[in-house]
């Protein structure tokens, strides 16, 4: 059972054929079916045949987003609690093969508090805690402990950590986590095996089911995404949409969101096999919005400022700002800790909020309250 | 006319209101746009999501900073709550932070269509009424649930016209009609009203008030849309009170069917 079974009904060859053979008529039909789009329609909207219709897709994406989210954009920031990593993902700056042992660390409780205070003083009320793929360096219990500390400062704490068991997700929930983001990286099994060389991350099926486990453990928000560039984005995009829809049905009490992490800055050793152009990324975001009108869409500072600003009315609902991808990067460390990837948009949160305002949207810092969970914000033992 | 509308006040839990248009505050592009809607509509009851509201820093909050306690009843809502415990906690938190003990109960465990959970809503309503709250529950257009809520002491019932944000209008018309017919408390049609015509339709049916958010937040001219909804609500109400003639599906038959009775001996 699980998503794997559903995914098997849409193998690469089938999806590729749909994408390649989609005609203009298929695209126009998909555009008309606002409330009952099917997998065939996802493929049409992701296909080359849809390129001449990007403007119509954009208009509809804009309308759908406004219906569901109004003219608001939420703001959040990532906090890297560790950059120690036992996995060897060929594309990643944190991978063991990136070396740099002396630049790797896990924040102490005191350091994490300093980082939290720095972000809270910039206005953030929603954060995402991240670690590498290293249960031995940062155990699930340590992640839960870090969540408790973050929860002292922020009403909304999400995690983006290695895949966990259901009872481990439940433990994070008990400590105040309200969202779990986990990118599948790629849904294409062969590519997945090729780029993930070490550690538990090699287990495709375990990662594929992780978000469903998190949902069953009670996560309010589940974030899907494929690391764009590892495989043909039209096909990985199709599978990502399928996954989001699956989670909406199975974990009906969880809000499913989607991110669009595009590989731009990779270690020199790695060549991005399916680099996306700006236009292709826009098509993916629009197609996803048309197929998932009610999903939150996250946009990180991986993308450059001018491009991010243009994406605001096209379906984005959450933006990070002033981000650092190194542990301690907000108030403690600079070059002496390794970063996961270079950020493109280095504007301050205030500047990004002002840009959002000028685009006609209300920047929303707080969208969750501790009273929901009834957990006292106090230090865990 | 003024004296007439003076007499025709909306009364909820013993408190009178001139305006029968309630305004939701999510989805607005800015504090200014919300202010424009409030100015244009002259709405008195304004609902605020506790999830979003920063009760600790109301001046910095783009919604709370616009509201004027002398003009507006701030009606905290529990949107985002998944079960009765969460909703009750949120309501108590708001009261502890200084809000009036009024709460719009929104229990929407399913984030896709934001449809209300009838079972948890009933549970939370019962607990909050006992705890001294004035409870206004957002519900599916379910006449039996409306009666059950009335029995546990809610101050209104707030059936939906269509899913939140859908702008589809009175899709639940037949069930709302039954709710209005049977209600002993004010009926507020909430969610899905996408245009002033939809609001007028609800009021013509005999709804006591309507609540609008998305259609106001998404307007190009916020002040004008606020005014348009206020006028539509007033017109609908006035029409309802003036009394409509019976509706006819087809034209009256021209030759009587029972005329033969007169010629019978």
Instruction: Indicate the residue of B62, B85, B214 with minimum beta-carbon distance to A362.
Output: B62
Q: Transcribe A323-376 into DSSP letters.
A: ---STTTTTT-STTS--SS--S----HHHHHHHHHHTT-EEES----GGGTT--
**Beta strands in A124-229, from DSSP E residues, in sequence order:** 126-130, 156-160, 177-181, 221-224
What does the radius of gyration of chain B's CA atoms come to, in whole angstroms? 20
pLDDT-derived band at B201 (thresholds 50, 70, 90) equals: very high
> B49 in helix, strand or coil?
strand
Give dist(CA B41, CA B44) in Å, integer. 9
Q: Which residues of A touch B90 (CB under 8 A)?
A: 369, 371-372
Residue contact B214–A374, C-beta within 8 A: no
Tell me how many residue pairs between chain A and chain B have CB atoms under 8 A apart: 83
Give the one of B27, B90, B217 whose C-beta lies nearest to A369's C-beta. Answer: B90
- Residue by residue, pLDDT tens for chain A (381 residues) are 699 999 999 999 999 999 999 999 999 999 999 888 999 999 999 999 999 999 999 999 999 999 889 999 999 999 999 998 888 888 887 777 777 888 888 999 999 999 999 999 999 999 999 999 989 889 999 999 999 999 999 999 999 999 999 999 999 999 999 999 999 999 999 999 999 988 889 999 999 999 999 999 999 999 999 999 999 999 999 999 999 999 999 999 999 999 999 998 777 778 888 999 999 999 999 999 999 999 999 999 999 999 999 999 999 999 999 999 999 999 888 888 888 888 899 999 999 999 999 999 999 998 888 888 777 555 433
Instruction: Determine how β-strand B15-17 pairs with β-strand A296-299.
Output: unpaired
pLDDT of B251: 63
According to the model, what pLDDT value does residue B1 have? 46
Q: Do residue A362 and residue B167 have CB atoms under 8 angstroms apart?
A: no
Q: For chain A, what is the radius of gyration of the CA atoms?
A: 20
Q: Name which residue leads in pLDDT, B64 or A8.
A: A8
Active site residue ranges of B: 104
Shortest CA distance from A155: residue in chain B: B51
Domain ranges for chain A, please list them: 73-380
Pairing of β A362-364 and β B10-12: unpaired
pLDDT tens column, B153-178 = 999 999 999 998 888 999 999 999 99
The model scores a pTM over 0.80: yes
A198 to each of A86, A96, A137, B71, B165, how far by Cα in Å?
7, 9, 16, 64, 46
Alpha helix stretches (DSSP H) within chain B: 2-7, 31-41, 84-96, 118-130, 143-152, 173-182, 196-204, 214-217, 222-242, 260-263
Residue B179: pLDDT over 80: yes
Of A70, A365, A368, the CB nearest to B51: A368
Tell me which chain B residue has its CA closest to the CA of residue A369.
Answer: B51
| HSE-up (13 A, CA, CB side) for residue A27 | 22
pLDDT given at position A102? 82
DSSP alpha helix (H) spans, B14-100: 31-41, 84-96
Distance from CA of B251 to the nearest CA of A (A): 37
Q: What pLDDT is attached to residue A366?
A: 86
**ipTM value of the model?**
0.78
pLDDT for the residue A1: 66
Q: What is the CATH number of domain A73-380?
A: 3.20.20.70
Residue B76 in contact with residue B48, Cβ under 8 Å?
yes
Please give the mean pLDDT across all residues of chain B. 90
A72–B165 CB contact, under 8 Å = no
């Amino acid at each position: 059972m699980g998503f794997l079974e559903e995914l098997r009904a849409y193998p690469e060859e089938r999806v590729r054929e749909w994408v390649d053979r989609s005609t203009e008529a298929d695209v126009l039909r998909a555009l008309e079916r606002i409330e009952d789009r099917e997998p065939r329609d996802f493929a049409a909207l992701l296909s080359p045949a849809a390129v001449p219709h990007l403007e119509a897709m954009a208009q509809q994406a804009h309308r759908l987003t406004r219906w569901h989210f109004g003219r608001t954009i939420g703001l959040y920031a990532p906090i890297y609690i560790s950059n120690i990593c036992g996995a060897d993902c060929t594309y990643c700056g944190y991978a063991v093969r990136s070396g740099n042992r002396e630049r790797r660390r896990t924040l102490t409780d005191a350091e994490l508090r300093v980082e939290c205070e720095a972000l809270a003083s910039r206005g953030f009320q929603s954060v995402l805690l991240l670690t590498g793929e290293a249960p031995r360096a940062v155990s699930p219990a340590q992640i839960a402990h870090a969540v408790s500390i973050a929860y002292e400062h922020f009403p909304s704490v999400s995690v983006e950590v290695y895949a966990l068991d259901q009872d481990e997700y439940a433990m994070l929930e008990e400590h105040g986590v309200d969202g779990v983001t986990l990118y599948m990286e790629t849904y294409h099994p062969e590519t997945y095996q090729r780029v993930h060389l070490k550690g538990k991350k090699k287990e495709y099926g375990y990662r594929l089911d992780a978000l469903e486990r998190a949902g069953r453990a009670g996560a309010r928000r589940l974030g899907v995404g494929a690391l764009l560039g590892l495989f043909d984005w039209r096909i990985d995009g199709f599978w990502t949409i399928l996954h989001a829809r699956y989670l909406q049905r199975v974990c009906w009490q969880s809000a499913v969101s989607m991110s669009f992490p595009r590989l731009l800055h990779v270690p020199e050793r790695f060549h991005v096999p399916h680099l996306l152009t700006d236009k292709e990324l826009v098509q993916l975001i629009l197609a996803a919005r048309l197929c998932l009108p009610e999903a939150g869409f996250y946009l990180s500072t991986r993308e450059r400022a001018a491009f991010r600003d243009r994406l605001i009315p096209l379906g984005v609902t959450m933006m990070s700002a002033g981000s650092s991808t190194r542990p301690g990067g907000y108030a403690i460390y600079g070059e002496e800790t390794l970063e996961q990837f270079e950020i493109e948009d280095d504007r301050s949160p205030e500047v990004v909020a002002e840009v959002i305002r000028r685009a006609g949207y209300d920047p929303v810092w707080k969208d969750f309250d501790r009273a929901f969970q009834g957990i006292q914000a106090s230090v865990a033992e | 006319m003024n004296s007439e509308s003076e007499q025709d006040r909306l009364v909820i839990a013993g408190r009178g209101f001139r305006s029968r248009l309630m305004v939701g505050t999510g989805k607005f592009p800015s504090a200014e746009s919300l202010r424009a809607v409030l100015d244009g509509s002259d709405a008195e009851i304004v609902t605020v999501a506790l999830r979003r509201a920063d009760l600790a820093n109301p001046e910095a909050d783009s919604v709370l900073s616009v509201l004027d306690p002398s003009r507006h009843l701030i009606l905290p809502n529990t949107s985002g709550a998944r079960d009765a415990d969460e909703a009750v906690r949120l309501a108590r938190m708001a009261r502890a932070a200084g809000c009036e003990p009024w709460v719009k109960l929104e229990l929407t465990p399913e984030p896709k269509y934001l449809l209300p959970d009838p079972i948890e809503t009933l549970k939370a309503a019962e607990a909050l009424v006992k705890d001294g709250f004035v409870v206004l529950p957002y519900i599916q257009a379910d006449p039996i649930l409306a009666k059950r809520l009335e029995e546990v002491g809610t101050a209104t019932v707030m059936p939906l016209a269509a899913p939140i944000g859908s702008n589809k209008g009175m899709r639940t018309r037949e069930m709302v009609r039954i709710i209005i017919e049977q209600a002993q408390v004010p009926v507020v049609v909430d969610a899905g009203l996408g245009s002033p015509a939809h609001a007028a339709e609800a009021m013509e049916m005999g709804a006591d008030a309507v609540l609008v958010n998305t259609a106001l937040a998404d307007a190009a001219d916020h002040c004008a849309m606020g005014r348009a909804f206020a006028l539509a609500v007033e017109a609908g109400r006035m029409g309802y009170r003036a009394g409509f003639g019976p509706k006819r599906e087809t034209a009256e038959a021209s030759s009587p069917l029972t005329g033969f009775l007169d010629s019978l001996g």
